[in-house]
Every structure is written in structure tokens, then in C-alpha cells.
């Protein structure tokens, strides 16, 4: 099954997961918030898995508030210029007003990447939870649609479920994620998971792909700032 043209360029720069969807094959409710225009036929989803992307971001010494987004946008733009210079492409994630309306986990599920972990992130049998969505563009291309890449769901066979017992906020008990309990615990003084989810780090799957501490702390600081800004007092 052919992948994206020059996929090695993206792989080398840490955007090592890519999936091409035909818009006509996507569920209407997933597509509607993206408001595709008549000439837009495909959605290309870019993700990273493992440590390479953060190495690249650090190597460039980016100091902006959102260095991963900035790097991902620039890398995809570079790839487009190299390989599809005539293509009309519109970023729908990140960096667009309302991008939070894009169903990234649903796209990940359709791509085969996403299986739900108790701590609300996606997980698979190879990368564990150490992957994420980095960019999505709508294009006027006619590239071959990607095959589903399903690396397996490790949770059903995980009998001990160490992620659940590692959560000091008891947010994963009872078979559902208690977001309020999680946020409350992260906001507490001296919270051990303010700058990194202990449940996520307790999962043994894909441990060799675990992000560097500096990446974990960078991402957690962003989500903690969001929780602080939106917390009701
Ligand atoms: S520790 Fe087990 S149940 Fe928890 S995310 Fe990892 S594989 Fe799934
Ligand atoms: S951030 Fe803390 S409270 Fe929230 S799920 Fe992870 S370990 Fe539990």
C-alpha cells in the first residue's frame, strides 16, 4: 500500500504517522465542523509517535509558547512545498480558530491509531500512549487513501492495570474517567501529577518510546494552565 510521497521526510522530522482520508468516506458529523469547500477532497492527518519530534523541536531551539505546533506547521508546509507544490491545502489543526471542534480521537480511531486507555488518551500495543496528533490539512489532492494501521489494543489483556492504581486522584476507578477528580487533584498544592500524569507513566506498554521528562512537563504545563483558566471556583 503506497504511503504519502516523500514520507521519509516527515518520518525523519518526527511526524512519523500519516493518514490520508477521502472526505467522502468520513462521517458527516465529523466533517461538518471543518466546513470543507467544493474543491477539498481529502484530509491528511499527521501525528508523532515516540521521541523524535521533541528532539527535532529542541534542536531548533524554539522558544515560542507553542513550539510543537509551530514546528509541526512549518514541517508540513515544507513537505507540501517539496512534494505537492500545486496543492491547495488548508490547516484545520492546529492554529485555526475553533480547532478544538475537530474530532482528533475519532480520526485516530478511523485511522486505527486510537484505542481508549483508562486515562482518556489513546494507546496501542507498540507506542503505548506515547503518540499524539500534530496537524491536519484539507486538500484538493487525489492521493491513495491510507489503509487502517491498527497496532492493537493492549488494555483488555492487561489484568493488573497499573495505570488505575497509580492515579493518586482516584480518577480512573469504577470503569470511567472522572475528569473533575483529575483536575481537582492536579490543581492541589504539591500535586504529584501537576506536571505529568502518573497513570500514563505507569503503563508499561511502549515504555521505550516514553517522552523525555522535558516533553512531559512541557505538555502538562500547557494542560495545567488550561485547567487553571477554566476551573470554576
Ligand atoms: S496499564 Fe494496562 S490498562 Fe492501563 S493503559 Fe496500559 S495497557 Fe491499558
Ligand atoms: S493527571 Fe493525576 S489525577 Fe489525573 S489521571 Fe493522571 S494520575 Fe490521575
Phi then psi dihedrals of residue 42, to 5 deg: -135, 155
DSSP H or E segment with residue 174: none
Ligand 2 and 224: CB distance under 6 A: no
Pairing of strands 131-139, 89-93: antiparallel
Per-residue confidence (pLDDT) for residue 97, from 0 to 100 = 62
* Cα 175 to Cα 11: distance, rounded to the nearest angstrom: 36
Give the Å distance between the CA of 1 and the centre of ligand 1. Answer: 31
Residue to substitute in 182, 221, 227 for testing ligand 2 pocket (most ligand atoms within 8 angstroms of CB): 182
pLDDT of residue 230: 83
Mean pLDDT within 49-57:
97
Question: At residue 2, does pLDDT exceed 70?
Answer: no
pTM here is 0.94
Q: Kindly report the average pLDDT of the chain as a whole number.
A: 93
Establish whether residue 171 lines the binding site of ligand 2, counting it when its CB lies within 6 angstroms of any ligand atom.
yes
Instruction: Indicate if the alpha-carbon torsion angle 101, 106, 107, 113 is positive or negative.
Output: positive
CA distance 203 to 158: 10
**Residues linked to residue 132 through DSSP beta bridges, in sequence order:** 48
Amino acid at each position: 500500500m503506497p504511503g504519502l510521497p516523500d514520507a521519509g521526510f516527515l518520518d525523519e522530522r518526527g511526524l512519523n504517522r500519516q493518514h490520508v482520508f477521502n472526505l467522502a468516506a468520513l462521517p458527516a458529523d465529523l466533517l461538518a465542523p471543518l466546513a470543507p469547500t467544493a474543491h477539498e477532497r481529502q484530509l491528511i492527518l499527521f501525528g508523532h509517535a515516540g521521541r523524535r519530534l521533541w528532539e527535532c523541536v529542541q534542536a531548533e531551539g524554539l522558544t515560542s509558547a507553542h513550539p510543537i505546533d509551530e514546528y509541526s506547521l512549518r514541517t508540513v508546509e515544507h513537505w507540501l512545498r517539496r512534494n505537492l507544490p500545486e496543492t491547495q491545502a488548508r490547516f484545520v489543526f492546529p492554529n485555526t480558530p475553533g480547532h478544538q471542534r475537530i474530532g482528533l480521537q475519532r480520526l485516530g480511531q478511523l485511522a486505527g491509531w486510537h484505542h481508549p486507555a483508562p486515562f482518556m488518551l489513546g494507546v496501542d500495543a507498540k507506542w503505548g500512549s506515547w503518540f499524539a496528533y500534530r496537524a491536519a490539512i484539507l486538500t484538493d489532492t487525489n492521493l491513495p487513501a491510507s489503509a487502517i494501521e491498527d497496532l492493537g489494543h493492549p488494555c483488555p489483556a492487561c489484568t493488573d492495570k497499573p495505570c488505575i492504581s497509580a492515579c493518586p486522584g482516584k480518577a480512573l476507578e469504577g470503569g470511567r474517567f472522572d475528569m473533575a477528580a483529575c483536575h481537582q487533584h492536579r490543581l492541589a498544592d504539591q500535586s504529584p501529577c501537576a506536571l505529568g500524569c502518573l497513570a500514563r507513566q505507569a503503563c508499561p506498554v511502549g515504555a521505550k518510546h516514553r517522552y523525555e521528562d522535558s516533553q512531559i512537563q512541557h505538555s502538562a504545563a500547557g494542560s495545567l494552565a488550561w485547567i487553571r483558566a477554566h476551573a470554576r471556583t
